[in-house]
Amino acid sequence: MLALAVFGIKNGTINAAVELIILFLVVIWLALVYWTYADARRRIADPLLVGCATAASLFPFVGTIVYMIVRPPEYLDDVRERELEIQAAEARLAELGYQVCPYCDYEVERDFLRCPNCMRKLKDPCANCGKPLDPMWKICPFCEAEIGSMAPTPRRARRRRDGAAEQSVADGTVRAERRPAPAPAERGGPSTS
């Protein structure tokens, strides 16, 4: 049988060594293609991108090196685990009283009536005891007063009047209080004495 001479080498021993080296390189290349496919499946969620990474690794050795440079840094399992840890930490913080404003995501405490950042109303105060009440509650859990049957307090009415006065000052429409007109002698006019 006629032996194939690789690179024109006619010596049987050297030719066998060269053939073994080529076989070794082909096996390493195929192993790298499989490793790229397996690693891409663990790091990339999109099957099309997994196929592209595997196709790029078909270029001997260079494709795998390029994939190693541009691959995502984390495994998908690690990303999911980190997201679960974040959710668990948020749940633990919620149990401890950590809350955020639903409008601006600023950290607020449970007893805040307004957000200090965006000034939006978060809760209503109980008219009886003044504790913060969730808008969904029908009864105050602190003093057992029914929320729907409470009459507005005079303090709120005063706030509205003060708010109206502040609004008129801001608008520049301040009304002067009515006072009796000053006497002519008080005006600083010419005196007759």
What's the pLDDT score for residue 176? 46
Model confidence over 10-24: pLDDT tens digits? 777 888 888 899 999
Average pLDDT taken over every residue of the chain: 79
- How far apart (Å, rounded) are the C-alpha atoms in residues 124 and 62? 65
- How far apart (Å, rounded) are the C-alpha atoms in residues 171 and 163? 12
Q: Considering only residues 149 and 133, tell me which one the structure prediction assigns the higher pLDDT.
A: 133
What's the pLDDT score for residue 185? 54
Share of the chain above pLDDT 90, in %: 37
Please say whether the beta carbons of 57 and 32 come within 8 A. yes
Residue 71: pLDDT band by 50, 70, 90 thresholds? Answer: very high
Q: Given a cut of 80, is residue 54 above it in pLDDT?
A: yes
The DSSP secondary-structure symbol of 147 reads S
What's the pLDDT score for residue 150? 46
Q: Considering only residues 102 and 1, tell me which one the structure prediction assigns the higher pLDDT.
A: 102
Residue 73: pLDDT band by 50, 70, 90 thresholds? Answer: very high
Please say whether the beta carbons of 151 and 139 come within 8 A. no
141-169 burial code (b ≥16 CB/10 A, e <16): eeeeeebeeeeeeeeeeeeeeeeeeeeee
DSSP state letters, 34-87? HHHHHHHHHH---HHHHHHHHHHTTSTTHHHHHHHHHS-SS-HHHHHHHHHHHH
Which amino acid, one-letter code, is at 155? Answer: R
When pLDDT is averaged across residues 56-67 and rounded to a whole number, the result is 94
Q: Is the pTM of this model over 0.85?
A: no
Q: Which residues pair with 7 in a beta bridge?
A: none
What's the pLDDT score for residue 97? 67
Q: Give CA separation, 87 vs 92, 93, 99, 107, in Å.
A: 9, 10, 14, 17
- How far apart (Å, rounded) are the C-alpha atoms in residues 63 and 155? 75
When pLDDT is averaged across residues 41-68 and rounded to a whole number, the result is 95
Q: Find the DSSP H helices in 96-134.
A: none
